Amino acid sequence: MQQKIFVTGGTGFVGAYLLRYLVANGYQNIIALKRPNSPMDLVESIRDKIQWVEGDILDVPVLEEVMKEVEQVYHSAAMISFVPEDKERQFEINSIGTANVVNMALYHQVQKLVHISSIAAIGKEKDQKIISEETKWKEETTTSNYAKSKYAAEMEVWRGIAEGLSAAIINPSMILGSGFWNRGTGNIFKLYADGFSFLSDGAGGLVDVRDVAKFAILLMESGIEKERFIVNAENMAYKDLFKQIAKLAGKKPPSIQINTWMSAVGWRFEKVRSLLTGQPPTITKESINSASTKSHYSNQKSIDAFGFSYTPIQETIQATVWQYLEGQGQPMVLPLN
């Protein structure tokens, strides 16, 4: 009999690709959690092959009912925000929500949980050139609330492991691919494909969303537990990413380097605009700090575990830009590879 699978965040960016790969791999007994108003654009092609349950990870009675007969759990639900006003809600969803999922997994003795964390939950030791799974968490004054909330969430998973839960953790770098263009990294493609002129001097890891989904399934199907894996195709300067997007979209490459005073003026201006209009700011102090950070991540452990082959990030960028232009702003998904 096939395993009964439960996916949180199924209508979100990573969750939607994960569900599509599960269906493509022949899994049929799949339950996914969605909020009543969640857009279904990214899962439209498979929505009838999934058993949808309305609720969220803060709704303990819903989790308790759903997870009674579940054997495998993919936990991908999370809130990504660099807006200071979202701090409380972000911690509630990312940390308390994860604790709820872990507690129900323990209570119902699920066979295994795979937690989609983030490289934001991994620290950066002083003078360390390459960050690995062994890097210790160290909170800095510039550490974002998002990073703190994802670290707290991951600690809930480790707590569950200590209490007997079979679980493993994925720490993806910046995830690229088609999806919703007004949120997450989709907004980066929208900005630079539309001709945004500003550059940041940061650098970090990049990975195709399809690779994250495929790695999660490999990890679930393996006997590996009590481990974390950085999932990262390659490291790249953000300015090179932005220039590639603009070039592929036929736009003038961005050339205005954001300096310290421009950053300070920019996020303060956005703060005022947000207060006056009621719209969330497009730039915040945290998002600027994040875009200016230079970090490089090792993917050796993920490669060694399964002989995993990453999608070249240039292919991901090209396919995503083309889909943005083709869809004229409508949500899109990359074909499975």
pLDDT tens for residues 146-202? 899 999 999 999 999 999 999 999 999 999 999 999 888 898 899 899 998 888 788
Q: Which domains does the chain have, with CATH numbers?
A: 5-182+204-235+295-320 (3.40.50.720)
Mean pLDDT on 317-329: 95
Q: Tell me what pLDDT residue 231 has.
A: 98
Nearest by Cα to 220 from 302, 111, 323: 111
Nearest by Cα to 336 from 211, 227, 156: 211
| pTM given for the model | 0.92
pLDDT digits (tens, 9 = 90+) for 113-128: 999 999 999 977 766 7
pLDDT digits (tens, 9 = 90+) for 50-82: 999 999 999 999 999 999 989 999 999 998 877
Strand partners, 229: 170
Q: How far is residue 244's CA from residue 241's CA, in Å, rounded to a whole number?
A: 5
Strand partners, 172: 231
For strand 30-34 and strand 5-8, is the pairing parallel, antiparallel, or unpaired? parallel
pLDDT digits (tens, 9 = 90+) for 255-291: 877 655 444 544 344 444 444 545 555 555 555 566 6
For strand 234-237 and strand 203-208, is the pairing parallel, antiparallel, or unpaired? antiparallel
Classify residue 164 as exposed, middle or buried by CB count within 10 Å of its CB (0-12, 13-18, 19+).
exposed
Q: Tell me what pLDDT residue 129 has.
A: 83
Percentage of the chain beyond pLDDT 70 is 88
Mean pLDDT on 85-96: 92
* Average pLDDT across the chain, whole number: 89
The contacts of residue 37 (CB under 8 Å, 6+ apart) are: none
